[in-house]
Chains A and B, each alone.
Chain A
Amino acid sequence: MSQLVLFNVFNGLIVGAFYALMALGLSLILNLSGVINFAHGGFLALGAYFAYALIPFLGFWGALVVAPVLVAVLGLGVERVLIRPLYGADPLYGLLLTFGLAYILEDLTRLVWGAQSVPFQAPAALMTPLSSDYFFLTGYRLVMIGIVAAAVGGLFVVLNCTRLGTRIRAGTRDLETVSTLGVNVRILRSLNFGLGIYMAGLAGVLAAGLLGLSPTIGANLIMPSFVAIIVGGLGSLLGTLLGGLLIGVASGIAAVYVPSATEAVIYVMMGLVLLVRPRGLLGEEGRLH
């Protein structure tokens, strides 16, 4: 039994790392723009389908590089046309807009690629377990963790060591002052939104290797990432990472003892965090006010 729990904790960390990748993109957008991006799952699905369409030409690795960039470009367009007019308005407007957009993106993928799942193929060499005992550790999952680590590391470097990052962080705290200091806030917000959507696209390509690829892939994955943000704390990217890992592990442990509650347990966790520490584990007080 103890080995089973240990395996599931380890496995939960892997799954949690993936949730964290999705949640980081969401968190970036929420922090700077105050937009609760319900369409994140739609962009994730687009990333996966773009990669599916590109693999015959570029191979898996090429698609992994190009597809998220394409999604990010599309995200920039969406930000310019739809999101920008809502900055400064009640967050509810952004939420409603992206909620509708999520449905539009889902049906768009359905229109183009059909309602049925499509066979997405990741490199066969990665699709075998590395050891017979730790059979849940495959090459693909290791690569995925590597990419998540690189993305998280890259994001921290950008945020902490570059001028853009400093501005994003400053903007997160007080956008008005940043604007008064002569920073072009429009461009800042656009770049930040594009970066968030890029991470959604990246998560989408990685997810398609593990899961069946159908138009609902994004909708199925979006809720755990929201929970990750709330558990980890609004305004804190480190908190988001922690939140993702925690819900992955919690869900894994639940599978051992109460298998039908793997989904419920993450919401119970969210409820507890909201009751005891409403700002989230590493969150700042008073975000979104």
Chain B
Amino acid sequence: MPELAAPRLNRRAVVKGGLALGAAQLASPFVLTARAAEAVKIGFDNALTGPYAGPGKNELVGCQLAVDQINEKGGILGRKVELVVEDSTSGDAGVAVQKARKLIDSDKVDFLLGHLNSALALAMAQVSNEKGVLHIVPGGHTDAITGKTCHWNVFRVCNTTATEANAVAGALVKQYGKKYYYITPDYAFGHTLEAGMVKAIAALGGERVGGDLTPLGTVDFSSYLIKAQAANPDVIIFLIQGDDMLNALKQATQFGLQNKVHLAGAQQEMEPLEGLPPEARVGTWVMEWYWKQPGAPHVAEFVDAIKKRTGHVPTARTWFGFVSTWTCALAAAKANSLKALDMAKALQDFHLPPEIALGPNPAYYRAGQNQLISTLFVGDAQAKGEAPEDLFKVTKVVNGADVAGTLEESECKMIWPS
């Protein structure tokens, strides 16, 4: 009978299988420990799904390029570098913290990277500080990360919201008038960014004639735009980000508001601009890094290397990831140690080499705050540039040191472990 020819599952086979599986389970931790002794691990705990998946993935691409470059140059302290990637989701602080603990406790990472959501970055910073792991925040902007709740082990690559506001305010007041209406997302990031903008614009003689706090994830901005128009401002300031920014700009330009008042904002990024149809790419903004920097050293090589991987030019997010990962290698090299405290001390006032800084001004981690001071690019979004992905016309290059405020203003009181 054909059935007899088929292998039969009997009790003995099941027991054997079970024993083999158990042995493999027991053996695997030893295998993992053996590997851990070889590679230096960088834990990436960032958004790969949800509304921030786009920028999160771009930060990851930057990290991966840096890891490959570091390994080509001999790794960290002669050891190979390995990136351990975890998806933290876009908005769930519980998941981000759980993944951070997993990376630190089970994977035994030497460095922690993340998060692009400010609230999640703050939550992760508490964990990394408790565990004493060097933590780089590539792209979470709220001031507190390197301000009120700064930690000796937490460094940040992107700018504070106050720095962004200071960078763009001058250009706006000089060119477009004194009356400002704000459309601001109703959460920590938006509140600090608006406060920063109002302060910076008031210092130059401009005033806030009105504004609305909009719930995160607002789909229809038409009612806010009707209100904004009725307040008769010179400029409508959009401080919303991501999908909210797309929705608002698309609707504002369909209403023809760009012909009546000036549209502007603080932080702008390539990710939303690429999602807008050409006619909606308008307004004055600040970018934290831009791929088209004629004459700036090493930028072209970086752009080419990323284009080879993704087919697209790098965004500020790609650069954040790239700088964050290189910071780990540079800190270890300077400290000649993988001890977080030694590395954090080595990074005080540490200047990035030009092939990592990729901008016209010096880029350095300000001592006593752990905040990277770099270059900001003020300009206008454009329907069509010289190259297919040239969506932003830079009108003013701002040295971060001029707009970052003082260390005292940051309100960071750094406490070092004794």
Q: How far is the CB of B231 from chain A (nearest CB, A)?
A: 10
Closest to A127 in B: B254
Contact B255 A135 (CB under 8 A): yes
Kindly identify which residue among B224, B251, B277, B278 contacts A259, using a CB–CB cutoff of 8 Å: B224
Contacts of B260 in A (CB 8 A): 135
Contacts of B38 in A (CB 8 A): none
Contacts of A128 in B (CB 8 A): 254, 256
Among the 9-residue stretches B5-13, B116-124, B268-276, the one with 4 or more Cβ atoms under 8 Å from chain A is B268-276
Task: Report the Cα distance A224→B217, complex, angstroms.
Answer: 12
Residue A172 CB within 8 A of the other chain? no
Contact B218 A117 (CB under 8 A): no
Closest to B281 in A: A119
Contacts of B230 in A (CB 8 A): 3-4, 7
Q: How far is the CB of A1 from chain B (nearest CB, A)?
A: 9
Task: Report the Cα distance A49→B15, complex, angstroms.
Answer: 51
Q: How far is the CB of A121 from chain B (nearest CB, A)?
A: 4
Contact B226 A4 (CB under 8 A): yes
Which residues in chain B, 206-247, are within 8 Å of chain A measured between CB atoms?
Answer: 212-215, 217-220, 222-227, 229-230, 243, 245-247
Task: Report the Cα distance A36→B250, complex, angstroms.
Answer: 32
Residue B57 CB within 8 A of the other chain? yes
Q: How far is the CB of A41 from chain B (nearest CB, A)?
A: 11
Contact B223 A252 (CB under 8 A): yes
Residue A180 CB within 8 A of the other chain? no
Closest to B217 in A: A220
Among the 9-residue stretches B48-56, B161-169, B342-350, B374-382, the one with 4 or more Cβ atoms under 8 Å from chain A is B48-56
Kindly identify which residue among B54, B186, B213, B227 contacts A117, using a CB–CB cutoff of 8 Å: B54
Contact A212 B275 (CB under 8 A): yes
Contacts of A110 in B (CB 8 A): 49, 53
Contacts of B256 in A (CB 8 A): 128-129, 135
Contacts of B213 in A (CB 8 A): 259-260
Q: Mark A193-222, 1 if CB is under 8 A from B, else 0.
A: 000000000000000001111111100110
Contact B214 A259 (CB under 8 A): yes
Closest to B230 in A: A4
Task: Report the Cα distance A215→B49, complex, angstroms.
Answer: 10
Contacts of B56 in A (CB 8 A): 115
Task: Report the Cα distance A255→B223, complex, angstroms.
Answer: 6
Task: Report the Cα distance A120→B218, complex, angstroms.
Answer: 19
Contacts of B49 in A (CB 8 A): 107, 110, 115
Residue A251 CB within 8 A of the other chain? yes
Contact A15 B275 (CB under 8 A): no
Contacts of A255 in B (CB 8 A): 212, 223-224, 226-227
Closest to B270 in A: A116
Residue B279 CB within 8 A of the other chain? yes
Contacts of B186 in A (CB 8 A): 260
Task: Report the Cα distance A205→B58, complex, angstroms.
Answer: 28
Name, among A107, A116, A120, the residue most crowded by chain B CB atoms within 10 Å (CB to CB): A116
Closest to A11 in B: B222
Contacts of A12 in B (CB 8 A): 223
Residue B257 CB within 8 A of the other chain? yes
Contacts of A251 in B (CB 8 A): 220, 223
Task: Report the Cα distance A216→B52, complex, angstroms.
Answer: 10
Contact B251 A210 (CB under 8 A): yes
Q: How far is the CB of B180 from chain A (nearest CB, A)?
A: 16
Contact B214 A15 (CB under 8 A): no
A260 with B215, Cβ < 8 A, contacts A4-B227, A116-B275, A255-B227 known: yes
Contacts of A15 in B (CB 8 A): 220, 222-223
Contacts of B219 in A (CB 8 A): 211, 220-221, 224
Q: Is the interface of B mostly helix, strand, loop or mixed?
A: helix
Count A-B pairs with CB separation below 8 Å.
129
Task: Report the Cα distance A220→B254, complex, angstroms.
Answer: 21
Contact A8 B223 (CB under 8 A): yes
Contact B278 A11 (CB under 8 A): no
Contacts of A11 in B (CB 8 A): 222-223, 226
Residue A174 CB within 8 A of the other chain? no
Contact A117 B243 (CB under 8 A): yes
Contact B224 A119 (CB under 8 A): no
Task: Report the Cα distance A224→B50, complex, angstroms.
Answer: 19
Contact A115 B255 (CB under 8 A): no
A211 with B226, Cβ < 8 A, contacts A115-B57, A135-B256 known: no
Contacts of A115 in B (CB 8 A): 49, 53-54, 56-57
Contact B226 A214 (CB under 8 A): no
Closest to A14 in B: B222
Contact B218 A116 (CB under 8 A): no
Q: How far is the CB of B170 from chain A (nearest CB, A)?
A: 28
Kindly identify which residue among A121, A135, A220 contacts B277, using a CB–CB cutoff of 8 Å: A121
Task: Report the Cα distance A128→B217, complex, angstroms.
Answer: 25
Task: Report the Cα distance A4→B276, complex, angstroms.
Answer: 29
Closest to B253 in A: A127
Contact B279 A124 (CB under 8 A): yes
Kindly identify which residue among B53, B214, B229, B247 contacts A211, using a CB–CB cutoff of 8 Å: B247
Contact B223 A216 (CB under 8 A): no
Task: Report the Cα distance A129→B256, complex, angstroms.
Answer: 7
Contacts of A7 in B (CB 8 A): 226, 230
Contacts of B246 in A (CB 8 A): 117, 211-212, 214
Contacts of B212 in A (CB 8 A): 255, 259-260
A210 with B275, Cβ < 8 A, contacts A136-B226, A255-B227, A260-B213 known: no
Q: How far is the CB of A44 from chain B (nearest CB, A)?
A: 12
Closest to B58 in A: A116
Contact A262 B215 (CB under 8 A): yes
If A212-B245, A216-B243, A256-B223 are given as contacts, then 17 extra A-B residue pairs at C-beta distance below 8 Å, sorted by A number, are A4-B226, A8-B226, A11-B223, A115-B49, A115-B56, A117-B246, A124-B279, A135-B255, A136-B255, A140-B254, A211-B250, A251-B223, A255-B224, A259-B214, A260-B213, A262-B215, A263-B217
- Please list 20 pairs of residues, one from A and one from B, whose beta carbons are closer than 8 Å in the complex, sorted by A's number: A4-B226, A11-B226, A15-B220, A15-B223, A110-B49, A115-B53, A117-B246, A118-B275, A119-B275, A119-B276, A127-B254, A128-B256, A135-B255, A138-B255, A211-B243, A212-B247, A220-B217, A220-B243, A252-B223, A260-B213
Q: Point out residues on B near A: beta carbons under 8 Å.
A: 49-51, 53-54, 56-57, 186, 212-215, 217-220, 222-227, 229-230, 243, 245-247, 250-251, 253-257, 260, 271-272, 274-279
Q: Point out residues on A near B: beta carbons under 8 Å.
A: 3-4, 7-8, 11-12, 14-15, 107, 110, 114-121, 124, 127-129, 135-136, 138, 140, 210-217, 220-221, 224, 251-252, 255-256, 259-260, 262-264
